Structure 1
Amino acid sequence: MPGSGRKWIDVPRAGARLALDFLLPMRCLSCDRRVGTEDGLCPVCWQKMQFIEKPWCYRLGIPFTYDVGEDAWSPRAIASPPVFDRLRSVAFYEGPARDLVLALKFSRRRELAGPMGRWMSRAGKEFLGEQSLILPVPLRWVRLLSRRFNQAADLAKVIAADCGGQYEPDLLRRRKRTRQQVGLSAKDRHRNVRSAFGIDKERESELQGRHVILIDDVMTTGSTVTACSKTVLAAGAASVNVITFAIADPSLRSADEAVKP
Structure 2
Amino acid sequence: MLAQLQTAVALIYPPRCITCGDTVESDFGLCGTCWRDTAFLGGMICDLCGIQLPAGGDGLVHHCDSCMQAPKPWVQGRAAVMYRDTGRKMVLALKHGDRQEMARPAGLWMANLMRGLVAEDAIVVPVPLHWSRLLKRRYNQSALLAKVVARRLNLDWCPDALVRVRRTASLEGLSHEQRFDMLETAIRPHPKRGVLLKRRPVLLIDDVMTTGATLIACTRACIDAESGPVRVLTLARAGKDA
| TM-score range normalised by the length of the shorter chain | over 0.9
Equivalent pair of 2:50/2:237 in contact (CA under 8 Å): no
How far apart are residue 177 of structure 1 and its match? 1.3
The amino acid across from 1:164 in the alignment is: N
Matches within 5 A, 1:71-82: 71-82=61-72
Coordinate RMSD, CA, aligned? 1.6
Matched positions, count: 241
Structure 1's 57 and 216: CA in aligned 2 closer, same or farther, altered over 3 A?
same
Contact 1:61 1:89 in 2 (8 A): yes
> Is there any run of 5+ residues in structure 2 with no aligned partner, and where?
none
Structure 2 distance, partners of 1:91, 1:204, is 30
Q: Which amino acid aligns with 1:40?
A: G
Q: Indicate if the aligned counterparts of 2:122 and 2:200 stay in contact, CA closer than 8 A.
A: yes
* 1:8 paired residue number: none
Unaligned runs of at least 5 residues, structure 1: 1-11, 253-261
C-alpha displacement of 1:73: 2.5
- Structure 1 CA distance, aligned partners of 2:241 and 2:115? 25
Matched, 1:51 2:9: no
Greater Rg, structure 1 or structure 2? 1
Q: 1:116 aligns with which of 95, 106, 110?
A: 106
Equivalences for residues 63-78 of structure 1 within 5 A = 63-67=52-56, 68-78=58-68
Contact 2:162/2:194 (8 A) holds in 1:
no
Q: Which residue of structure 1 aligns with residue 197 of structure 2? A: 207
Alpha-carbon deviation of 1:203? 4.2
1:129 and 1:163 in contact (8 A); partners too: no
SS for the counterpart of 1:243 is strand
Pairwise CA distance, 1:109: 1.1
> Given that residues 121 and 128 in structure 1 are in contact (C-alpha distance below 8 angstroms), is that contact kept between their aligned partners in structure 2?
no
- Superposed, 1:87-106 pairs within 5 Å as 87-106=77-96
Cα gap change, 1:69/1:21 in structure 2, threshold over 3 Å: closer, same or farther?
farther
Larger relative contact order, structure 1 or 2 (CA cutoff 8 Å, min sep 6): 1
Secondary structure at 1:173 match in 2? strand
State the distance in 1 between where 2:18 and 2:171 align: 26
Matched, 1:34 2:23: yes
Which deviates more from structure 2 when the two are superposed, residues 173-182 or residues 137-146? 173-182
Of 4, 10, 29 in structure 2, the residue corresponding to residue 21 of structure 1 is 10
| 1:14-44: CA deviation from partner (whole Å, max 9, x where unpaired) | 3222211111010011111100122110010
Distance 2:192 2:34 in 1: 47
Q: Write the distance in 2 (CA, Å) between the matches of 1:142 and 1:188.
A: 22
% identity of equivalent residues: 35
Does residue 86 of the first structure (1) align with residue 84 of the second (2)?
A: no
Query: How far is the alpha carbon of 1:169 from its aligned partner?
Result: 0.8
1:137 has 2:120 as partner? no
Q: Give the letter for the 1:25 counterpart.
A: P
AA of the residue aligned to 2:218: C
Looking at structure 2, the residues matched to 60 and 161 of structure 1 have their Cα atoms a distance apart, in angstroms, of 23
Q: Which amino acid aligns with 1:62?
A: I
- Report the secondary structure of 1:250's partner residue: coil
Could you tell me the TM-score, scaled by structure 1's length? 0.87
Runs of 4+ more than 6 Å apart: none
Work out whether residues 204 and 236 of structure 1, in 8 Å CA contact, stay in contact via their aligned partners in 2.
no
Question: CA-to-partner distance for each residue in 1:25-74, whole Å, 9 max, x for gaps?
Answer: 10011111100122110010111101100222222222222253432323
- State the SS of the aligned residue for 2:74: coil
CA–CA distance in 2 between the matches of 1:20 and 1:201? Answer: 47
